[in-house]
Amino acid sequence: MALWGRAKRDAQEIQLDATRLPRHVAIIMDGNGRWAKRRGQPRAFGHRAGVEALRAIIRHSSDIGIEALTIYAFSTENWSRPKDEVSALMSLLLEFFGREIEELHENRVCIRILGDVDGMPGPQREALRAAMERTRLNEGLKLNIALNYGSRAEIVRAARIIAERVERGELRADQVDSAIFEGCLYTAGLPDVDLLIRTSGEMRLSNFLLYQVSYAEFVVVDTLWPDFDLHAYRAALAEYQHRDRRFGGVKA
Ligand code: FPP
């Protein structure tokens, strides 16, 4: 609790212009394993601490009026991690939804899962479906959790959906445009990502939202995810507010 109090106080030092917040923030939460290793603990210990960091970031995003927050929780490649780590992550997921869903719902958070929900183990699949159904009509923060997600697979899936529509005669090939394509991505209806944050200093996208980050501003911080507190988050938002976004054009 003391740590939460300190983070909260420090965070207020960072001034933000409420009229220029990013509409859509995406986060690659990296560094849980290294955080645990530095403490001589198993990787699962880092993931558990990572969930605590995540709770604070979700709450703050909702409090300050961010429209959409998308987090990378588990990629299609993460299944190849050691069995006990995968199993710890799956347990944390169940725990997270069991513990947080009511508070998220009360705060009008709308949960969407990006990824192959059908490919998740049974209990997780049920919990994810229940969370989406429970919060479906909420009009607060749009919280998108990428789980069993890979961006290339998402793009291929969209191409297949469109091809099937053309095959059925519902659509002509010359009608396919970016709006139709975007409507077939898991992120359909969401604004483009404005700000992509990656923790732990790695400069790569790791198969995350390849299409949606086309004009996003990237902020990479050295902080490991469990240490990414509200101060660090507001600093990333402030950095975004200093960027000069041109979307391929020139400054007027
Ligand atoms: C990357 O760190 C992190 C992950 C693969 C998992 C992120 C998951 C959470 C923060 C918690 C689960 C989420 C929910 C919604 C309950 P890493 O393990 O690759 O770290 P390393 O690069 O230091 O090894």
Q: Are residues 134 and 176 in the same domain?
A: no
Hey, how many other C-beta atoms are within 10 angstroms of the C-beta on 195? 23
Ligand 1 close to Cβ of residue 73 (< 6 A): yes
The residue range of the domain holding 168 is 150-195
Structural domain count of the chain: 2
Mutate to test the pocket of ligand 1, among 28, 30, 34 (most ligand atoms within 8 A of CB): 30
Cα separation, 250 vs 252, whole angstroms: 6
Cβ atoms of 64 and 18 within 8 Å: the answer is yes
* 182 inside domain: yes
In the reported structure, the alpha carbon of residue 200 is separated from the centroid of ligand 1 by a whole-number distance in angstroms of 11
Distance 137 CA to ligand 1 centre (A): 29
**Mean pLDDT (whole number) for 185-198:** 98
> By the 8 A CB rule, do 26 and 202 touch?
no
Whether residue 32 has its Cβ less than 6 Å from ligand 1:
yes
Examine residue 26 and state whether it is found in any structural domain, yes or no.
Answer: yes
Catalytic residues: 30, 78
Give this prediction's pTM.
0.94
To test the ligand 1 pocket, which listed residue (34, 35, 47) has its Cβ within 8 A of the most ligand atoms? 47
Looking up residue 48, the CATH number of its domain turns out to be 3.40.1180.10
pLDDT digits (tens, 9 = 90+) for 11-36: 889 999 999 999 999 999 999 999 99
Distance in angstroms (rounded) separating the CA atoms of residues 105 and 131? 9
**What pLDDT, on a 0 to 100 scale, did the predictor assign at position 248?**
84
Ligand 1 geometric centre to CA of 133 (Å): 25
Q: What is the overall mean pLDDT for the chain?
A: 95
- The answer as to whether 242 is a domain residue is no
Whether residue 33 sits in one domain with residue 128: yes
